[in-house]
Amino acid sequence: MANHFRHHQTGDLTTSPGTKPKAAPSAPAAPLAVPSAEPRKAASRKAAVPKAASPKAVAQRRTRDQRRRTKPPRGASHKFRNFVITLVVVVVVGAAAYVAVPRIIGAVNAAGSSSLNIGSTVQVYVPSGSTTRDIAGILKTGGVISNTSDFINAVEAENNASNLKPGTYSLVVGTSNDDLVAALVAGPPDTGIKLTIPEGLTVQQTAAIVEKTCGIPAADFIAEANSADKYAADFPFVAGAYNNSLEGFLYPLTYQVPVGANAETVIRLLLKQYAIETADVDWSYAASKGLSEYDVIKIASMIEKETFTADERPLVSSVIYNRLSTGMRLQICSTVVYALGPDSRDFGINPLLYVDLQVDSPYNTYTHDGLPPGPICSPQLASIEAAAAPADTTYIYYVLTSKDGTHTFCTTSDEFAQANAVYRQVFGLN
């Protein structure tokens, strides 16, 4: 262990007590642990609650009203909240029209009109997270219904607001509202190609999965993902992204992609889901600290890579905020891995070397102040929420102290030293 660090699932902040360093330490007290580039196993989610060397009262996370959302189809994976999503072309009386959620896209291109074409078949797409009012608007825009209030009333009459399922439906114009509600409660048929994007992947890793699953060349997908300005009009949150990259915004879920879809089709599907998932995120705390939504996604991407444990996410977030507020460098190992290239080697077998901490990259938080210039992966909603609302702590360190991947969080240099002693004992380094 003279020249490298032991690998575990989560990273460790290894700053020595004191002012921010100007270069990587020659012999950190705790190991640099590098997250694996491979998709995570479900079992890694079940780690124990972290131990605190100096227990702090963690303020209750701010609550906010949650919008009632459509339930995922039965059998969907709980790991990724795998709602089955399908992107389709809407056909209304032979004319192609794309139906999107008005509250997300703003402008909708549709071929519907005020007069319904009774008896014609219309395909409509109901995104995951759509409310009853959203769905009513989609049906009206697609020419399936003429009155949204009647449909909403039919849903509420049977208390089905939380039972409507996302997906693609072929509906006959003129069908009664009760039958439409019954169809949406039953859920759509499975169509297209099932594409699962795990959380915590980079653009390149996502492109590889898309190529393998959908047959879309990875190069085409990467080219689209490096054209953020192309999508900024429909998805304003990507405007000004570093290096014009969509890194951080390709939301991890399971989707149904139509056969023959191209890279742009998939990109738009993932961006739309990001918009839906983050619609209720409260960005106000981050804004009060001078951080933008993009900054929050940077933090969320680091949280995603630093811990697999739900209870640790807001704690890791608090460490990042506390270090930013005091001017300490973040020294987060996953940013170094990103700078080197997550697939450049198997970091489980060949851990980070001390020399790696000197990699010349703006993403290297050992040698650069503040946040990295962009996200380092696409995080799940839980990490985004933790990044937007960190726990209220005074922690500025965390150390890996258990083989289950959990950490001890520390405020003082003495606590930090004690946690490092535990680490060395647990991993037989004494």
Half-sphere exposure of residue 370: CA atoms within 13 angstroms, side-chain side? 8
Looking only at the bridges linking them, the beta strands covering 193-196 and 254-257 are antiparallel
Tell me the per-residue pLDDT of 70-129, one tens digit each, with 9 for 90 and over: 434 333 333 333 333 333 333 333 322 333 333 222 222 233 334 577 888 887 888 878
Kindly indicate the confidence band of residue 348, based on its pLDDT and cuts at 50, 70 and 90.
Answer: confident
Q: What is the largest CA-CA distance in the chain?
A: 79
Asked if the model's pLDDT at residue 39 lies above 70, the reply is: no
Query: In this structure, are 132 and 206 located in the same domain?
Result: no
Tell me the per-residue pLDDT of 317-328, one tens digit each, with 9 for 90 and over: 999 999 999 999
Residues 26/354, Cβ–Cβ less than 8 Å: yes
Other beta carbons less than 10 A from residue 232's beta carbon: 15
Judge residue 172's burial from the number of C-beta atoms within 10 Å of its C-beta, 0-12 exposed, 13-18 middle, 19 or more buried: middle
Tell me the per-residue pLDDT of 141-162, one tens digit each, with 9 for 90 and over: 889 999 999 999 999 999 999 9
Query: In this structure, are 420 and 306 located in the same domain?
Result: yes
Tell me the per-residue pLDDT of 364-402, one tens digit each, with 9 for 90 and over: 999 999 999 999 999 999 999 999 999 999 999 999 899
Query: In this structure, are 261 and 300 located in the same domain?
Result: no
**Domain end marker among 254, 277, 300:** 277
- Would you say residue 119 lies in a domain? yes
Query: In this structure, are 247 and 337 located in the same domain?
Result: no
* Residue 205 belongs to domain spanning: 193-277
**Amino acid type, 1:** M
Average pLDDT over residues 185-189: 86
Asked if the model's pLDDT at residue 313 lies above 80, the reply is: yes
Asked if the model's pLDDT at residue 243 lies above 90, the reply is: yes
Asked if the model's pLDDT at residue 198 lies above 60, the reply is: yes
Asked if the model's pLDDT at residue 293 lies above 80, the reply is: yes
Query: In this structure, are 112 and 221 located in the same domain?
Result: no
- Would you say residue 50 lies in a domain? yes
Half-sphere exposure of residue 344: CA atoms within 13 angstroms, side-chain side? 11
Question: Where in 62-183 does DSSP place strands (E)?
Answer: 85-86, 90-92, 95-97, 121-126, 167-172
List the CATH number of the domain containing 130.
3.30.1490.480
- Would you say residue 29 lies in a domain? no
Query: In this structure, are 401 and 298 located in the same domain?
Result: yes
Query: In this structure, are 158 and 197 located in the same domain?
Result: no
List the CATH number of the domain containing 260.
3.30.1490
Asked if the model's pLDDT at residue 56 lies above 70, the reply is: no
In the chain, the number of structural domains is: 3
The enclosing H or E element of 316 equals: helix 313-326
Tell me the per-residue pLDDT of 3-24, one tens digit each, with 9 for 90 and over: 334 333 333 444 333 333 333 3
Query: In this structure, are 178 and 208 located in the same domain?
Result: no
Q: What pLDDT was estimated at residue 115?
A: 59
- Higher-confidence residue of 135 and 66: namely 135
Query: In this structure, are 228 and 338 located in the same domain?
Result: no
- Mean of per-residue pLDDT scores for the chain: 78
Q: What pLDDT was estimated at residue 9?
A: 32
Distance CA 274, CA 269 (A): 9
- Would you say residue 68 lies in a domain? no
- Higher-confidence residue of 91 and 223: namely 223
**Amino acid type, 169:** Y
Query: Closest Cα partner for 245 from 214, 267, 276, 262?
Result: 267
- Would you say residue 257 lies in a domain? yes
- Would you say residue 20 lies in a domain? no
- Would you say residue 4 lies in a domain? no
DSSP states of 183-217 as a string? HHHH-PPP-SEEEE--TT--HHHHHHHHHHHH---
Residues 293/119, Cβ–Cβ less than 8 Å: no
Asked if the model's pLDDT at residue 336 lies above 90, the reply is: yes
Q: What pLDDT was estimated at residue 188?
A: 83
**Domain end marker among 227, 260, 277:** 277
- Would you say residue 23 lies in a domain? no
Query: In this structure, are 403 and 293 located in the same domain?
Result: yes
Query: In this structure, are 292 and 366 located in the same domain?
Result: yes
Q: What pLDDT was estimated at residue 130?
A: 87
**Domain end marker among 277, 305, 332:** 277
Query: Closest Cα partner for 96 from 106, 88, 104?
Result: 88
Query: In this structure, are 239 and 366 located in the same domain?
Result: no
Q: What pLDDT was estimated at residue 189?
A: 77
| Structure tokens given for 378 | 């696409």
Residues 187/73, Cβ–Cβ less than 8 Å: yes
Give me the residue label for tokens 């150390």. 399
Tell me the per-residue pLDDT of 19-30, one tens digit each, with 9 for 90 and over: 333 333 333 333
Average pLDDT over residues 286-314: 97
Q: What pLDDT was estimated at residue 322?
A: 98
Residue 100 is given by DSSP the state -
